[in-house]
Amino acid sequence: MRLPNALRLPTALAFACTVALTTQPTLAVAQGAAARHAIIPAPNRVELRTGTFTITDSTPVFIAADASDDVERVGRQLATMLGPGAPRAPRRLPESVSPPAGAIRLVASERLDDLGAEGYLLDIRSNGVVISAREAAGLFYGVQSLRQLLPWSIEHRAALNRRLTLPVGEIRDVPRFVWRGAMLDVARHFLPPADVKRYMDVMALYKLNVLHLHLADDQGWRIEILSRPNLTRHGGSTQVGGGPGGFYTQAEYRDLVAYAAARHITIVPEIDMPGHTNAALASYPELTCDGVAPPLYTGIRVGFSAVCPDKETTYTFVEDVVRELAELTPTPYLHLGGDEVEKLTTAQYRAFVERVEGIVRAQGKVMIGWGEIAPANLDRSTIVQHWRSDARASRDSAHLHAARGGSVIMSPGNRTYLDMKYDSSTVLGLRWAGLISVQHAYSWEPSTFLPRVPAERVLGVEAPLWAETLEKRADYEYLAFPRLIAIAELGWSEPKVRGWDGFRARLAEHGPRLQALGVNYYRSPEIPWK
């Protein structure tokens, strides 16, 4: 997953930016011609026409009188984004009553079953807007498309003389994959909660719905486990290159989970094992086979550590960690790593994976692991995450899990690893999986990337960002954006509406938006930035 042996702005960004506009939309409607759009990910069907709908400071947002709390949250987010001042609540209206002209209405209806859990319809007319979906998540994504149809100035709190216009038209959109993810490595270097929230804000804008947090590795343990306090007290006290390290308290982690849920993002915590465990071994020497604690580690070499697979104390430890993580994480998944284990025999490794899978399932969770776990005797509900794509790719056995009916997440290193350099001049990042330009990150097909994994077994895509060379939020953003935006389109949009030329033209329009959001993105020369 890494180099072998060598590595939704502020919290309010997603919606609470009360903004006014000084410019007309870059998506201005040409008289006598259809409007163009710069929505990313590309919607499945877009029909924009001449004419506009104008939003003023008094434009109301309506929801049904009996709308759920989740729908009300989306309505509040939309109203706050559009209106000045303090956060605003949407107005409730009986479904049988039509809203007044000039209003925006959010409609959640079980009758829209063909849209699935995340699809939406966006109908913009000169006298009003309706966003319809089966569930609140679909409404949320419809709001993101509406947001991207507005000028970039919507993201800027300091803009004055607001004037918002939308092109008239209809969008019908349903995501291709249910798993559209990003991964943050907060173990090599610790990333404070506010910075993780910022990352989620931008994820939400581009309809990504999974944040995989790599919470423990050789260099640091980043999540408080009450039954094992030395994990953070000692194991979390440093990071790559030294430094103070850090960790999330359980209260901070619960807050991240809630923040993600409000943006329809699922948090997936990862505790890598049986390898990548030096921080744990240094904290609890009974996890080693000789009972001797190794020193804390601040380098980037991999493969040298492993818990002792033959001691019951190891599995007691795993049970403690899994139990507390399961209690903290109401979402379905726990990621238990399983990659780059050089210290165990094949038999020891597979026995460990199978026993840990049983521990995870006993807590009512679905286990996820990196591609190396596939040869073990796994339950078909377990998910395998493919990552190898270099000369060692033949060692990845994701097809074995697919053959038993299991699902595979596509994270090939030479396409999705955001810690790889853009080109030979990039200062940050690594290059063991190759140089990954924006076009290279965009121009591949997840459903056919592994010939022996059928398309129906591909759950979706995920872009990991490993942090060997990343020390601060600006570093993470520089390597992630705009490549994560490219991965977002691969995860959402059908192949028939994708294409590099169209994507780069739409992405060019997002330069001012990313700047307004304060994102430290890489101005790739491949993109004709506005």
The residues assigned a catalytic role are 340
Q: What is the 3-state secondary structure (H, E, C) of 91-108?
A: EEECCCCCCCCCEEEEEE
End-to-end CA distance of the chain: 35
Q: Which of 451, 419, 431 is nearest to 522 (CA)?
A: 419
Adjacent-strand bridge partners of 269 = 213
Q: Of all helices (H) and strands (E), which one includes residue 272?
A: strand 266-273
CA atoms within 13 A on the CB side of 186: 29
Instruction: From 205, 196, 230, select the one nearest 147 (Cα to Cα).
Output: 205
Q: Give the number of other Cβ atoms within 10 Å of residue 499's Cβ.
A: 14
Q: Are strands 333-337 and 128-133 parallel, antiparallel or unpaired?
A: unpaired
CB 71, CB 106: distance < 8 Å = yes
Query: How many Å apart are CA 258 and CA 280, to the nearest integer?
Result: 27
Per 3-state DSSP, the chain is made up of helix, strand and coil in percentages (nearest 5) of 35, 20, 50
- Cβ atoms of 408 and 456 closer than 8 Å: no
User: Token digits for 439?
Assistant: 């076009």
Interhelix angle 193-205/136-149, nearest 10 degrees: 80
Counting other chains too, the contacts that 499-503 makes at CB distance below 8 Å and 24 or more residues apart are 500/439, 500/442, 500/443, 502/42, 503/40, 503/42, 503/442
The count of C-alpha atoms lying within 13 angstroms of the C-alpha of 216, restricted to the half-sphere facing its C-beta, is: 34
Rounded CA separation 245/222 (Å) = 8
Please, what sign has the CA dihedral across residues 513, 492, 203, 165?
positive
Amino acid of residue 355: R
Handedness of CA 404, 441, 269, 293 (dihedral sign): positive
The CA distance from 313 to 229, in Å, is 16
Q: Quick one: which of 236, 212, 213 has its CA closest to 224?
A: 236
Q: Beta strands of 366-444 (E only): which ranges?
A: 366-370, 383-386, 407-410
The answer to whether the Cα torsion of 91, 170, 266, 13 is positive or negative is negative
CA dist 12 and 194 (Å) reads 11
Instruction: Write out the two tokens for 499.
Output: 């294409």
- For residue 346, what are its two tokens? 């094949």
- 3 state DSSP class of 174: coil
